Structure 1
Amino acid sequence: MIDAIKRAATEAVNAAGPVLVQLGIVEKINPLVVLVDNRLSLTEDFLIVPETLSEQKITIGIQEYVIRKPLATGDKLLLIRMQGGQRYVIMDRVVSA
């Protein structure tokens, strides 16, 4: 009986598609396409991009400075697949993996 309950609980968790951390690489910028695990290409419709990965510039005097660079082709990303597996949140760039 206990084994049946454990098995049912495990199947319920797997069916719900728990949160999963994955790595991806930016394939294309406009429109944004991210390759996950070298097999799944995600378009903008499936990605949540934080403001911290958008370009931000400031002007000091007459000089303009980029203080936050935007995503670029080839950037490695840390992604979190949301429960259910339909959307991915881009957490940040990855320096080494």
Structure 2
Amino acid sequence: MLDIIKKASLSAVGSTNPMAVLYGTVTSVNPLEVNVDQRFSLTEDFLVMGEMLMEYKLYIEGVEYVIRKGLKAGDTVLLLRYQGGQTYLILDRLVKPS
């Protein structure tokens, strides 16, 4: 009986598409598009991005200072798929250690 309950609960969780962590590559910035694992592309309608990934510049006495770089084509990003699979959060840009 316990095995049947375990199988039923695992099946229920699996069918709801729980959160998943994925890797993607930015293919376009304006409009934003991310290719996920070379399997499918997500447009900005399905993406949510935090402020820390947006470009931020300061201009002081005619000099431009880049405080934060924005996403650019070719960047590798870490994505979190919300439960249900319709919305993806771009968690961060991934870089190789130097």
Q: For each residue in 1:39-68, what CA deviation from the matched residue of structure 2 results, as whole angstroms up to 9, or x when unmatched?
A: 110000000011111110112222121111
Letter in 2 for 1:60: I
Quick one: distance in 2 between partners of 1:6 and 1:79?
Answer: 30
Letter in 1 for 2:58: I
Which runs of 5 or more residues in structure 2 are unaligned? none
TM-score by length of 2: 0.93
Q: Report percent identity of matched pairs.
A: 53
DSSP 3-state at the match of 2:25: strand
Match of 2:84 in 1: 84
Which runs of 5 or more residues in structure 1 are unaligned? none
Match of 1:3 in 2: 3
TM-score by length of 1: 0.94
Match of 1:34 in 2: 34
Q: Which runs of 4+ in 1 moved over 3 A?
A: none
Letter in 1 for 2:7: R
1:57 aligns with 2:57: yes
Q: For each residue in 1:10-38, what CA deviation from the matched residue of structure 2 results, as whole angstroms up to 9, or x when unmatched?
A: 01111111110110000111111100011
